[in-house]
Amino acid sequence: MTRYLINFSYDGSNYNGYQKQKGLNTIQGKIEDALKYINNKDTKFSASGRTDAFVHANNQFGHVDIDVNITENKLKRALNSLLPDDIYVKSAKKVNDDFHCRYMVKEKQYIYIINMGEFNPIERKYVYQFCNKLNLYKMKKALKYIKGTHDFEKFSSNEHKEKNTVRSIYTAKIKKRKNYLIFSFSGNGFLKYMVRIIVGVLIQIGSNKMNPSDIKQIFSGDYKFKYKKIAPPEGLYLNNVKYKKI
């Protein structure tokens, strides 16, 4: 048996999220179907984390144990020959048997893209078509409150009632390119809907419906108004994952 680390990307437009679910079209389901053919048996594929329905990944990672003798390059080619065109394996690398793609994550990076200009039907599955101007200065000011180590329970759905909702955000940035805003967040981990709720709050701040300092009140539990407007999934990308050791 050999453990492989798989680096792959996908267009999430046609999928009900990453995690395998009975009767639903998922990224994990497609990959495990391909691995079953290669490994001659049902084979579990573990990823660095889940992505929601319609969310994309530029660089997602997962590990798998393969019993048959196969080189890294042949495994990559075999997977790509069996996977649909909206999932692509970039590399397959042999790793130690104790490597775990989820528990050994050092840093994750997400990006979120918004179009403030004219509606673009071609990009509608890949960029949030907000189609209104936003106050970039106020949003950048608000990002200062997001960075650092906080309890992000109030910036997540927390439907799974996780015991630990404290996360560290290392970088939080916004870049403007013509009519597009590109948000980037890196940290040691993210809760369910966390990035989309943060972006939703930033959009309200950029629309002058909230103030940057309101984020401090949300963290403390003192904010008394409804603020959880989850940004649509289409603009969200898992951009990269870094590991402590490989």
Phi-psi region of 50 (alpha: psi -120 to 50; beta: other; left: phi over 0): beta
Choosing from 52, 65, 86, 151, which is the catalytic residue? 52
Question: Which residue in the block uniquely carries the two structure tokens 């492989």?
Answer: 4
Q: Are 172 and 147 in contact (CB under 8 A)?
A: yes
Question: Which residue in the block uniquely carries the two structure tokens 């972006």?
Answer: 199
- Look at residues 203, 202, 194, 187 and name the one whose alpha carbon lies nearest to residue 241: 187
The runs of H, that is alpha helices, within 87-207 are 136-146, 194-206
3-state secondary structure of 192: coil
- Whether 98 is catalytic is no
Q: Are 99 and 86 in contact (CB under 8 A)?
A: no
d(CA 144, CA 212): 9
The runs of H, that is alpha helices, within the chain are 27-39, 72-82, 136-146, 194-206, 214-220
3-state secondary structure of 107: strand
Which residues have a catalytic role annotated?
52
